[in-house]
Each structure stands twice: as structure tokens, then as C-alpha cells.
Amino acid sequence: MKKKTNRTYIGGQAVIQGVMMRGKRGMATVVRDDNGELQTEAKRITPPEQRSVATRIPFVRGAINFFSSLVDGMRALLRSSEAVIVEEETPSKLSKWMEEKWKVSVSDILTWFALAIGIALALVLFIWLPGYLTDLIASIKVVGEAIGGKGDIWYSLIEGGFRLIIFIGYILLTLLLPSMRVTYQYHGAEHKTINCYEYGMPLTVENVKKCSRLHDRCGTTFLFIVMIISILLFALANWVLFGVLGFSTGVGVLDRLVSMAIKLVLIPVVAGISYEILKFFALFQSPLVLPFKAPGYLLQKLTTKEPTDEMIECAIGAFEKTLEMDADPESPEKTFATTTKLTKMSAMMKKHFAERDIDESDAEWILSLTLKIPRSALKTERIISRAECKKILEIYEQRLTGRPLWYIYGNTEFYGYTFKVDERVLIPRPETEILVRQAVSALKDGESMLDLCTGSGAIAVTVAAEVAKDRSVTVTGTDISAGALQVARENARINKANVTFIKSDLFESVRGRFNLITANPPYVRSGEIAQLSKDVRDFEPKLALDGGVDGLDFYRRIAEKINRYVARGGMCILEVGEGQAQDVIRIFREKSRCDFAMVVKDLAGVERVVKIGF
């Protein structure tokens, strides 16, 4: 195999039916669930430059990285177990009872029970049992005289030997379990993928298959180094405490507990030293260091197996997502679709929305609309099924990109009517309902109305639908955008509103006079477009936002020609931006022959609508 030319800091581990990869700024886990579908979870982590100075101090950093990796790895393992097990279409009576009574799922209980058993087993096998076995053989008079007591080096080395034998024996026993053999295949896929990248080859299944499943930075090698260092360090500690200092409680069980406590305290020291040794040997590819790497490689032969193509796909997916998150701060996080609590899902969404300056209420809307419950019911705890979670996450992840919520859903509510919306039109705002209310009140039977800059048709369609209940009114809407007019016509059809739409730059293609002219024109100052929120700036049409240098260009154009199109005794009703009402009134008094002007404030006390009489 050719020399590695593309070293990476990304490492990983096998999880249940998948692979987790961890980089400098992000970590990603990809699993294949029981339906055969790939699921991805990606989270951001604190980059090295923002972490504590301690994470850069030799030996100290090893202990910190050890526990950090242990926590992250355990979380990934637990999350993968939640993701791969597909829930039954018809939950059991026990599942239903626990979800309704205790607001927990059976899988949550089983997961944490398994974790507790795993921790207890590790303490028994690798801390208590080696000491117990050593005490057992030391109780034999001849052997005890030969190896001495707890303070004797030979005693500690034998105890360490038992620990190493138990460790290797444990690995060999796991090979008998089909589920563990599968995990070891995913472990092999993880190593092969990283090796493929480091050899500078494109990450394809075929290329990954060609690469070795052994790697210098493997956790198995690290654990072997930990075993060797722990044997030496624990021997030294026992010699100092029980040999040099002569410590003894006089009770064998208590002495063993003291010895166990010391070992637990020394674990960070062991981890720190082992990390530096692993890091040092990983720098060299020379045959001279091979004897030192060989034991780790031999263990990797046991803990890695040749993966299937589907397993390699998981590893590649996790690696590429991690690489993407490290390179792009805007790369979105992703979450597994699993059975979860409503409050937990809500808190997670609101937290990430707040981090991205997205209105937290959007999380409530997503939950409310997907679960088909009122927002007021979101305070009542309940279990969200996997299928419901999947639908929620699809919308949530799109919203994280900045895309407006109502574009994602494809429609929104306005004045009690449903309007189709997409990137061709602005999303109707609640304050525009004030203009609609004024327009409906102003129109009389037999009159006509013209809506300029109609966009989605929110004003024209709503007014037409409302007045049709008790009056006969002719409504026309215009817009310069052909795409916007397509949306407006669809909204008129959906709401059964009789509106004629014309493609026109304001009055350009309009003929005749109208009793009422309405408009919600672009009124954002050109220089302020860049400061708008991401969902407005990057997704809503700039054509419908930009009102020129001072935001008043369209009001001037309307005022200059309105006298040719407004009927005698007619009215113009306009929505304006905050602080623009008096400037708009001044423009109309200067450029048109208006009789009066007045303003209507919104609920926040802002002068939002201008009414001009002719």
C-alpha cells in the first residue's frame, strides 16, 4: 500500500449497526435501522481553539480526551441503540401503559439498564476480579511466600497479568456473540474509511474495501497501552502504599477496597501517559517502531472484521458529514428519528433555533402542526413516536438552514384563509390584516378595487372573499412577477375568490378607474436588506422587499400616477414600514391631488396603514 499523504485528525468508533466519527468541530453517527434505512445524527462540538488551555498540556490533555471520548462514545452508542430498533406498529400493552402513566418508553429503560450493567461489569472484571484472583493464589502458603503481599512488586505484576488475561479473554469471548461480530465489522469499516482518506483516495465503497482495517490511532491499541501502563503504575502505587509506607487496615476486604480506590484515582494518570505514547507512535511509519505497535495490531485483528458494502456506506456517510461540519460552520446538525418525549423534543428544537437566531415559536408550530394538536396542548407531556419524530425532524432540519417555516409547509394562514406560499412571493404578515380590514370596510356594493404589488394575492383574494359574502365588488390584482401571479391565481382558486390578475409594473398595464386602490409595496431600504434576518434576506424575493435608498420609491411612483386611476371620492390604502407613515402622507400631498390622509396603528402602536382620500 502506498504511503499516507492526507493525514486527518478525524477518529471514530463502531456503534450499534453503524459508525460514529468525531472531528475538531463536529461529530456524526450514521446507522442502518431495522428497515434498512440510513439514519444520521450530527452534532457540533467545541473546536480546539475554544477549549480550555488544559486540553493542550501534554499528559493532562490525554486524561481529558480519554474521558471526553468515553462520554461522547457512550452517548453515540446509546443513541444508536435508540435509532436502529424500529418500534412495533401496534405497541404492547406494557409500552402503552408506561408511556401514558410514566411518560417513558420501554426502550429508554432497557438502554439505561444495559448501561448500568455494563459499567458494573467493567468494574468487576478489570478492577475487582484481578485483585481477588491474586489474593486467592496468595492465600496458598507456598505461593504467598514467593510473591509476597500487596506491597510486593511481584504481587502487583501478577495482578496486572490477570487483568491483561481477562481483557484478552473478554475480547475472545465477545467473538462468540453474533451481534459483537457485526460491531467488529463496523469497526473495520471505520478504520478502512479513515485509511482510504489518508491514502488520498476518493471515498467510494470499492476504494475503501481495498484499504487495511488496521489503524495506528485505534481505541483497541490505546486500551492495550492502558493495560500495560496500568500494570506498571498500579504496581508502583501498591509498592509505595503497602510496601514502603506499610499501610494496612488489618482487614483483607478493606485493604482490597483501598487498593481498588487507588486504581480508580490513578485512571486519569494512566490515560494521560497512554495517550502520549499512542500519539507518539502514530507519528512514525518506520519498521523500527513496528515491534511496539505489533501487540495493538494483533488485538485489532480480533476487534476488526471485513465489513459489507452496506457497513462501508455507513462509515463513509459519517466521515463525510464530519469532514463537512469541520469545514463549514453552516453545515446543519441532524438528529436521529427515535421515540422521545414531547418536552425533550421541544427543548432541543428551541435550543438550536435560538443558537441560529430563529424564532423559538417555530418549534411550537412544527410540533403543533405535525402532531395535530393546539399549541396550548404542548405543555402536556406525551411520547412522540418514531414516525412522528421523523416527520418533525424533516421540517426542523429544513428550518435550521434558514428556510422560512411556511415555505417548508407550502402554505400559511392569513385572515382565516389558507394561502399557498413559496420563494416566488412574500409570506403574508399578520399586520397586513389591518389593511384588509380597512379595505373591506371601505368598499360598497358595485364598487371596484385594484391591488398593486399583489404578490401571493393575500390582500386581493381575502378582500374579494370577504366582500362576496354580502356585496358585489370587482377586484383586480397586479404584479410585475409572473411567478407571483401564478401563486396568486392558485390562491384565488383555493379560496374561491373572484379576482382578475394582470401582469403589470404598478399601473403600466392597468385600464380604467377604481373606487379603492390598495398596495403593500416594497418598503425596506436598500442598505438594510443585508441586515434582515436570514430567512427573509436569503429566501424571500428581493424584488418584493427593496424599496430603494429610503424605502419610499414605490410610494412616489404610485403617488405620481394615482390620479389617473382612482375614481372621484375614491380611496388609497397602503401598508408602510415603521416610521414611514408621515413621509408617505407628505409624498401624496406633494404629488397627487388628495383631499385627506390618516393613519391606522397596529397592535404595537406603530403607524402601519395610511388611508388617503380623493
pLDDT tens for 228-265 read: 898 888 888 888 888 778 787 777 778 778 888 888 88
Q: DSSP code of 239?
A: I
Q: Under a CB-based contact definition with an 8 Å cutoff, are residues 463 and 515 in contact?
A: no
DSSP code at position 189: H
Quote the pLDDT of residue 604.
92
What's residue 89's pLDDT? 47
Q: Which three cell numbers stand for residue 130?
A: 484481578
What is the identity of the amino acid at 116?
A
Q: Which three cell numbers stand for residue 391?
A: 416527520
Q: What is the pLDDT of residue 61?
A: 87
Count of H helices and E strands in the chain? Answer: 22, 15
Q: Please state the φ and ψ torsions of residue 21, each to the nearest 5 degrees.
A: -120, 145
- The three-class DSSP label of residue 327 is helix
Residues linked to residue 573 through DSSP beta bridges, in sequence order:
518, 611
In 3-state terms, what secondary structure has residue 404? coil
Angle between helices 290-303 and 219-238 (to 10 degrees): 110
As to burial, measured by CB atoms within 10 angstroms (0-12 exposed, 13-18 middle, 19+ buried), residue 286 is exposed
How high is the pLDDT of residue 360? 92
Q: How far is CA 511 from CA 117, 228, 476, 506, in A?
A: 81, 91, 11, 12
**305, 299, 13, 304: which is closest to 168 by C-alpha?**
299
For residue 517, which of 464, 466, 582, 562 has the smallest C-alpha distance?
562
Task: Give the end-to-end CA distance of the chain in Å, rounded to a whole number.
Answer: 86
- Which is the CATH superfamily of the domain at 409-613? Vaccinia Virus protein VP39 (3.40.50.150)
Q: Where are the strands (E) in 228-326, listed by range?
A: none
- Give the separation between CA 29 and CA 14, rounded to whole angstroms: 9
Which pLDDT belongs to residue 539?
Answer: 95
Report the alpha-carbon distance of residue 496 to residue 477 in Å, rounded. 15
CA dist 517 to 172, 254, 285, 290, 575, Å?
Answer: 83, 92, 79, 85, 12
Bridge partners of residue 596, in order along the sequence: 613
Burial classification of residue 448, based on how many CB atoms lie within 10 Å of its CB (0-12 exposed, 13-18 middle, 19 or more buried)? middle
Tell me phi and psi for residue 13, to 5 degrees. -160, 160
The domain segmentation of the chain, as residue ranges, is 11-327, 340-401, 409-613
pLDDT lower than 70: segments of the chain: 1-2, 85-112, 115, 149-151
Would you call 170 helix, strand, or coil by DSSP? Answer: helix
Cα–Cα distance measured from residue 51 to residue 42, given in angstroms and rounded to the nearest whole number: 20
C-alpha cell at 459: 390582500
For 120, counting Cβ atoms within 10 Å of its Cβ (0-12 exposed, 13-18 middle, 19+ buried), the class is: exposed
Q: What is the pTM of this model?
A: 0.74
Q: Going edge to edge, which strands form the sheet with 38-44?
A: 11-15, 18-22, 26-32, 38-44
What pLDDT, on a 0 to 100 scale, did the predictor assign at position 575?
98
What separation in angstroms does the CA of 527 have from each of 119, 540, 545, 546, 608?
A: 59, 16, 11, 9, 21
Helices 458-467 and 432-442 pack at an angle, to 10 degrees, of 40
